Amino acid sequence: MCLTLGNAAAVLEHRAHSTPRGSYTETLHHVGHLGPGDLWRPTDGRPLVVTEVRSRGNQVTVTDQLGQAHRYPADALVPTAVRDPLTLGPATLARV
């Protein structure tokens, strides 16, 4: 399942960054919604990319691109992020 604002358990704060596609909205999702490629916020810093999700019994292990793994109960709400859609403006289109 892909993380969206529509399937978020809670929509929190928007974070704007100057780099293209660098902006996102902080959210909470059920851990079962996470999949590879999704943005996950295991700490208060910038989101990390989920590379693996494993379920075993009542526990889910989420691993990020740095190899850090965190375990959660199967019914947990976890801090996530949803990327802003790519917006093509005149400067971007001129380069295409």
- Around Cβ 74, how many Cβ atoms within 10 Å? 13
Identify which has the larger pLDDT, 88 or 71: 71
Q: What is the pLDDT of residues 22-79, one digit of tens each?
A: 789 999 999 999 999 999 998 877 899 999 999 999 999 999 999 999 999 999 999 9
According to the model, what pLDDT value does residue 87 have?
59
Asked whether 80 and 24 are in contact (CB, 8 A), the reply is: no
- H/E stretch holding 95: helix 90-95
According to the model, what pLDDT value does residue 45 have?
76
pTM of the entire predicted model: 0.81
According to the model, what pLDDT value does residue 93 have?
47
